[in-house]
Amino acid sequence: MIKRLFNYLWQLPFMVTGHLFTWLGPVISEIGSMSLFFWQVIKSIFHRPFEVREFIIQLYQVGVRSIPVVLLAGLFVGAIVSIQFHYALSQFGAGALQYLGGVTTSGLLREVAPVLVSVMIAARVGAYITAELATMKVTEQVDAVRCLGADPLRFLVVPRFLAVTIMIFILTILGLIIATAGGALSAYLLTGMGISKYFASIRSLAAAWALFNGMFKSLLFGVLLSTVSCYKGLNTDGGSEGVGRAVNSCLVTSAIAIFLADYIIARLASLTFEVAESFLFFMEI
């Protein structure tokens, strides 16, 4: 018995690395094929003719119909973030509380709004596009498009790709405004902090740099999200359960992609900020 146990323990590291590679292998190959897909989509954007009709309909489907979802989610999350920061700042004593508005808005601006809106859009839009394209693939409509002389990339993917990227940018701004309002409202209702006091501290902290940072982040999420959802949609196999699986893996991949990209940008932002600060310091501004 001991020998068997020892034998098992001896193999364990190899098994783990084996598992890691069997799990890592397909992931890397997927990232590769996704970036290839992304490059093909970018190339076919500039091919004549551009599908204006599909693009407008997708703008409506993707953007306009996601507004209620973004409003509802933004309002509540803004409130949650301001309550949590209130609790956290109260640990520092009363002095810090006056910065509640600034800290919450800045947190929302840089981090919470882009990520939240992107996760909501990933669920509401990304999964919808994957489901729609997967359904079309399973019911042979994608083959029909090719047989009728159109290129599926240009006809199906490009309109959706551009619609998602543009709409995520606009919806993030909308989400930000609603979240700030939610934060101010909950600060006023639950902790009795005056609205004007709440907004006073925003101007000093939420510099334009943070606004740019948040917007750039939402654009990047938009590109990531549309690539993943279109890729997963067109690469489906199997019948109706294939559609379900495609939607599932689209959500998972987009979630991981959003958080990974968010971390990279946060890391870059903190680096560049230090550089900018030392530069400003040097210039005595």
Partner 1 sequence: MIEYDNVWKSFGDNRVLKGISLDVREGETFFVLGQTGAGKTVMVRLLVGLLHADSGAVRIDGEDITGFSEQDFQRIRKKCGMVFQLPTLFDSMTVFENIAFGLRRLGNLSEEEIGERVKNTLEDVELDFSICLRLPHELSFGEQKRVGLARTVILSPRYVLYDEPTTGLDPFTADRINDLVLRLNRKMGATAIVVSHDLLSMNKIADRVGLLYKGEFRFVGPVKDFNRSDDPVVAEFRGGGEA
Partner 2 sequence: MTQRVKNPTLRVILVTLDQVFYIARMGISVRGIGRVILGFLDTLGGIVTLLVQTLLNLLRPPYRFRLMIAQAEVAGWKSLPLIGITLGFLGMIVILELHFQLSRLLHNTSLVPGVAGLLFFREFGPTVVAAMMAAKVGAGFTAEIGSMNTTDQIDALKLMGVSPVHYLAVPRFVGCMSMQVCMSIIGLFCCIAAGYLASLPEFNLQSYISIMNSYVGWPDFINLILKAVGLGWVVPIVSCHYGFRCRGGARGVGDATTRAVVTAILIIIVIDFTITAIADKLVVAAMSFL
Count of residues in contact with partner 1, rule CB under 8 A: 15
Residue 285 makes contact with partner 1 by CB under 8 A = no
Query: Encoding tokens for residue 284?
Result: 């005595």
The span of 12-20, 101-109, 149-157, 189-197 binding partner 1 (CB under 8 A) equals 149-157
Among the listed residues 148, 275, 283, 285, the single contact to partner 1 using CB under 8 A: 148
Return the one option of partner 2, partner 1, none that residue 284 interacts with (CB less than 5 to 8 A, by type): none
C-beta closer to partner 2: residue 43 or 65: 65
Choose the one of partner 1, partner 2, none that binds residue 147, judging by a C-beta under 5 to 8 angstroms depending on kind: partner 1
CB of 248 to partner 2, least distance (A): 4
Cβ closest to partner 2, residue 6 vs residue 25 = 25
Task: Kindly state whether residue 223 participates in binding partner 1, applying the rule CB under 8 A.
Answer: no
Residue 140 binds partner 1, judged by CB under 8 A: yes
46 binds partner 1 (CB under 8 A): no
Residues within window 51-70 making contact with partner 1, judged by CB under 8 A: 57
